[in-house]
Amino acid sequence: MLGDSQAARALGIQTYVSAPVRMSDGHLYGTLCAASAQTALLPPDTESVLQLFAKLIAQHVEREQLLQRLQAHNAQLAHQAFTDPLTQLPNRAALREELQRLLARAQRTHSSVLVAFIDLDGFKAVNDRHGHAAGDLLLRTLAQQLQHSLRAGDMVARMGGDEFVVVTPVDGTAREVAVAQQGLEQRLRAASVCDLVLPQGGTLHYPGASVGVVPVSGDLSVDQALQQADHAMYHDKQLRHPRGGRPGSALH
């Protein structure tokens, strides 16, 4: 196309040719243009060459879009694989991966990892008395409160059922580790107390969970570290409920 329009003259264009860039579904993505400030006689195959390049551009764009969709889909699948669907906390698989990483770090740096096991006393009684909707609400509420009680570097995960685990790296002297252990335990105990407005009406006071927090070294396996925290939790449960390991209800 010769530059015989006012816009072309303003831009100094004397020769211009273009081809639409269309996707495989016919959608117009854009236009491929070639322009010159000189008057030129275009070869006979100019249009076909331009269309070929327009087609190659469309194919490249579609490949990039497909790659982006695949990456987004893979990220979604990874999130689902490592996320508890009810509470949206990391799940058991994510916890084991993170704890393994923290134990490896602790072994390299000669530091420790705090592992906290949290068991919701009386959870079965909540389900039996008020229904599974109330039980799910309790799990979601405590998951949020536990999450909000954490500090940078902490991770809380749902192990399954009515059990949660928190892991966090800790450095310093034995006294500093003990102070960190006590502080984490206090925060988790406070975060496990809540008042729920039940779906069917009324309010449920949940008085708190059994909590066991232990510092572990990097030479332990993931299972050994979790087992130590589990034992500490059961010791706490026996102190809180001396006449039976797992109370039938923790409701007031």
Active site annotation includes 162: yes
- Residue pair 119/210 in contact (Cβ under 8 Å)? The answer is yes
Contacts of 51 (CB under 8 A, 6+ apart): 19
Question: Which one of 119, 121, 162, 236 is the catalytic residue?
Answer: 162
What are the backbone angles phi and psi of residue 214, rounded to the nearest 5°? -135, 145
Please tell me the number of Cα atoms within 13 Å of 66 on its side-chain side: 8
Question: Can you tell me whether residue 58 is helix, strand or coil?
Answer: helix
* Residues designated as active site: 162
